Structure 1
Amino acid sequence: MKLAVVGGGSTYTPELIDGFARLRDTLPIEELVLVDPAADRLELVGGLARRIFAKQGHPGRIVTTSDLDAGVADADAVLLQLRVGGQAARNQDETWPLECGCIGQETTGAGGLAKAMRTVPVVLDIAERVRRTNPDAWIIDFTNPVGIVTRALLQAGHKAVGLCNVAIGFQRKFARLLDVTPGEVHLDHVGLNHLTWELGVRLGGPDGENVLPRLLAEHGDTIADDLRMPRAITDRLGVVPSYYLRYFYAHDAVVRELGTKPSRAAEVAAMEKELLAMYGDPALDEKPALLAKRGGAFYSEAAVDLASSLLGSGGSAVQVVNTYNKGTLPFLPDDAVIEVQARVDGTGATPLAVPELDPLYAGLIANVTAYEDLALEAALRGGRDRVFKALLAHPLIGQFEYAEALTDKLIAHNREHLAWA
């Protein structure tokens, strides 16, 4: 089995490598290719990756290359974890929207649209090159904004599934609080990427006992602290919203908070510098503890579970993924991309039935889906008017004056990445 990781020079990659090494019986990789144009980073990450494999006795071969076509040739699956423009572009996404009093964030609001505009054309080019060399390869997208990018891939006819670590993070967290194994915890996880709610937490499977009320009663403070939201929100709603819902439920407070401290991109850039220095140490043969602060917790385990099911080594499994709606949420088009529990096997992902949604959640999902439709159109076809319409449609913006100003700022800060600008 051959896997390729596009964006293999990311400081995330040792997390992925650690999972591949630990779970080699689930996903028996013979060759792993790390693909990245940044040769200096790739050398550091690749060296650590080989040492991790060696320490854990993994027999697989790790190859590094800046040649995309060679790297993905004959791959059974290609994982995408790239960041067009790097942390510098992310830093812009997180700062210029604040000038208009709007959230500065890399996956939602104006910053999220900017990232989609930069990312979708690049990902589609990569996917076409994968299809030319190996039309049977699966594409697993971890590149944000995952929902929009996955829809672009599926719409273009690629064999693709989107992956996010939010759900597996909740699963692991709830399992610790309940003192059970993660495999015993099934989530009623519903929504769009980075716009989800845990409507139930079931023990033993989809039809198991719903212990969410007990979790909220006994561990409400811990859960709320992790979400960085008041406990009153989870108590009143009776569900657990994803961390990203704080940008909607506490927008103005978060804008004020973001204006008083360095951007997350600046924090990550400093962390990456330290991590890369660690990766260059020939004595280091495991992922460093600092990597946990970088983000992406449990990403490797989710990726292994997904790849093993898609490639047949792990059999059919239920996992939270991003895939076509296919009637799961009746108020959305079939070709909308949603994030829910799905049955995954060699044919792809089939969403499981979900509980009927309260209008409080369904309304916001429908609104953001409409924005994502317009965002994808802007990313594919370009043009100032399409950018403006997407921004006007976003519930975190929604005002003519803001949309006008943010359109100009988005184009000005991303001109080098927009072929039409």
Structure 2
Amino acid sequence: MSGIKIVTIGGGSSYTPELVEGFIKRYDELPVRELWLVDIPEGEKKLQIVGALAKRMVEKAGVPMEVHLTLDRRRALEGADFVTTQMRVGLLDARIKDETIPLKYDVIGQETNGPGGLFKGLRTIPVILDICRDMEELCPDAWLINFTNPAGMVTEAVLRYTSRKKVIGLCNVPIGMQMGVATILGVEQSRVHIDFAGLNHMVFGLAVYVDGENVISQVIDKLTGEQSGITMQNILDLGWDPDFIKALGLLPCPYHRYYYQTSAMLAHEQEEAKKHGTRAEVVKQVEAELFKLYEDPDLNIKPPLLEKRGGAYYSEAACNLIYSIYNDKRDIQPVNVRNNGAIASIPDDSAVEVNCVITREGPIPLSVGDLPVSVRGLVQQIKSFERVAAEAAVTGDYHQALLAMNINPLVHSDVVAKKILDEMLEAHKDYLPQFFKPVS
């Protein structure tokens, strides 16, 4: 049969309508014949709700796309062309622990940075590697498009611990930065091009172009003040100190606030946690509202409320990537891939987030040379953290996990690192079997 088979693991996610909308919009050039939404038994109710909405959206659009719902991952994977992953091991309750426990120790509690990012990686990487093993058997030629956070660490683990070459890590942060720049400059997004380089959630804009002219100095001038105008739903926009941002001379991503404005971000998180709960608890409320909307049998479009989730515009990134691979578009997109010399100060075999030419054979990273010395050390430190954390996730080695916790710049002492590690290991015990192997 002609057309494409796409499998989405974590299909019961609230993000799925974004993805479905993206495939519908591109159907003429990206003919998705089958879309398989896969989840686990704990997510079955959400899968049925989201799946029913997806079918209504497809019916309204009048495109011949079959939407299948299943808890059988292997059945879904057989013969797939693309596999997208957007899952959360431990569900939102695990994220609440990731964000709550570090705050007790005056450490940033955040989903993909610091201790929270470490533990999300420890829970997620073994599951992703299992998926890769299934793919090698059932759809060896398929592309794995991973949106599951921490996307950089997950991509690192797949590249390092599996034989899978067709893997790309994906994030909506770069597209959000491009849209933010377009907004503050008052120009169409299509006129803006940014030279991205770094790591996932640690990516910088080295240059910003409008119609081919580098305007990064103008952009930096507009980032100062109480708000920068470039952030995400889940990250407070504190603006940037004029002297600091001019000295940096680069476009930071929203997540850099955790590293350059740590005290203010920590204070905000602690205050918000007392008043409204952690971001995860807020997201849980938003998701409850979303799924109530999704249940409406008359709803057949993506509701605007979805943009309150931190993953807004996911479909733009995910669908554009699949579209460009399928059609050999050879356009430029920022994705997470094997470095292969693109960034001189990062090992060639490590995952980086960098602009790539997207071809039918996969992304070709564009070389940027060395990162500026002002940010090189921080990026290398986070890469060391990702490497050690990935090894800990695969081996279940307590000492490697402790080392990763200490390497992370958001953890301010070895004593605190050990206390957080021990408490979080116990809190997530059910999802970390590799650390609790029976003594033989």
Alignment TM class, shorter chain as reference: over 0.9
Tell me the residue number matched to 1:253: 264
Tell me the residue number matched to 1:201: 208
2-structure distance, mates of 1:358, 1:19:
36
The structural deviation recorded for 1:294 is: 1.3
* TM-score normalized with structure 2 length: 0.91
Question: 222-231 or 275-284, which moves further after superposition?
Answer: 222-231
- Say if 1:213 and 1:223 are closer, same or farther in 2 by CA, change over 3 A: farther
Q: Please give the residue correspondences for 1:221-232 in structure 2 after superposition, counting only pairs within 5 Å.
A: 221=225, 224-227=228-231, 228-232=237-241
Does structure 1 conserve the Cα–Cα contact (< 8 Å) formed by 2:181 and 2:230? no
- Once the two structures are superposed, what CA deviation does each residue of 1:15-58 show, in whole Å capped at 9, x if it has no partner? 11111111223322111111112221111101111111222222
- Once the two structures are superposed, what CA deviation does each residue of 1:91-130 show, in whole Å capped at 9, x if it has no partner? 0000101111111011011111110000000111011112
Tell me the residue number matched to 1:268: 283
Between Structure 1 and Structure 2, how many residues are aligned?
A: 417
The structural deviation recorded for 1:131 is: 1.6
| Aligned partner of 2:70 among 61, 65, 74 | 65
The answer on 1:367 being equivalent to 2:381 is yes
| Aligned partner of 2:219 among 215, 235, 239 | 215
The structural deviation recorded for 1:76 is: 0.2
The answer on 1:282 being equivalent to 2:297 is yes
Does structure 1 conserve the Cα–Cα contact (< 8 Å) formed by 2:207 and 2:250? yes
2-structure distance, mates of 1:185, 1:58:
32
1-structure distance, mates of 2:343, 2:222:
31
2-structure distance, mates of 1:171, 1:143:
21
Amino acid at match of 1:259: Q
Give secondary structure in 2 for the equivalent of 1:379. helix
1-structure distance, mates of 2:222, 2:169:
33
Does structure 2 conserve the Cα–Cα contact (< 8 Å) formed by 1:26 and 1:314? no
| Aligned partner of 1:157 among 135, 156, 163 | 163
Tell me the residue number matched to 2:179: 172
1-structure distance, mates of 2:218, 2:110:
33
- Say if 1:222 and 1:139 are closer, same or farther in 2 by CA, change over 3 A: farther
1-structure distance, mates of 2:135, 2:369:
37
Tell me the residue number matched to 1:243: 254
Tell me the residue number matched to 2:27: 24
Does structure 1 conserve the Cα–Cα contact (< 8 Å) formed by 2:159 and 2:351? no
The structural deviation recorded for 1:218 is: 4.9
The structural deviation recorded for 1:239 is: 2.3
2-structure distance, mates of 1:222, 1:201:
22
The answer on 1:409 being equivalent to 2:423 is yes
What is the aligned-residue RMSD (CA, Å)? 1.7
The answer on 1:302 being equivalent to 2:317 is yes
Tell me the residue number matched to 1:358: 372
Tell me the residue number matched to 1:333: 347
| Aligned partner of 1:320 among 304, 310, 334 | 334
Does structure 2 conserve the Cα–Cα contact (< 8 Å) formed by 1:371 and 1:390? yes
Give secondary structure in 1 for the equivalent of 2:84. strand
Amino acid at match of 2:215: V
- Say if 1:112 and 1:273 are closer, same or farther in 2 by CA, change over 3 A: same
Does structure 2 conserve the Cα–Cα contact (< 8 Å) formed by 1:175 and 1:181? yes
| Aligned partner of 1:140 among 145, 158, 162 | 145
Amino acid at match of 1:24: Y
1-structure distance, mates of 2:364, 2:179:
23
2-structure distance, mates of 1:210, 1:116:
37
The structural deviation recorded for 1:220 is: 4.7
Does structure 1 conserve the Cα–Cα contact (< 8 Å) formed by 2:177 and 2:230? no
Tell me the residue number matched to 1:11: 14
Identity of aligned residues (%): 39
Unaligned runs of 5+ in 1: none
Tell me the residue number matched to 2:199: 192
- Say if 1:344 and 1:225 are closer, same or farther in 2 by CA, change over 3 A: closer
Does structure 1 conserve the Cα–Cα contact (< 8 Å) formed by 2:192 and 2:209? yes
Q: Please give the residue correspondences for 1:48-59 in structure 2 after superposition, counting only pairs within 5 Å.
A: 48-59=53-64
Tell me the residue number matched to 2:234: none
- Say if 1:229 and 1:384 are closer, same or farther in 2 by CA, change over 3 A: same
The structural deviation recorded for 1:382 is: 0.9
| Aligned partner of 1:391 among 384, 402, 405 | 405
- Once the two structures are superposed, what CA deviation does each residue of 1:155-209 show, in whole Å capped at 9, x if it has no partner? 21212000000111122232344444433321111110001111211134xxx21
Unaligned runs of 5+ in 2: 232-236
Tell me the residue number matched to 2:131: 126
Give secondary structure in 1 for the equivalent of 2:67. strand
Give secondary structure in 2 for the equivalent of 1:94. helix
Does structure 2 conserve the Cα–Cα contact (< 8 Å) formed by 1:220 and 1:235? no
- Once the two structures are superposed, what CA deviation does each residue of 1:357-410 show, in whole Å capped at 9, x if it has no partner? 221211101111111111011001012211111111111115211121122112
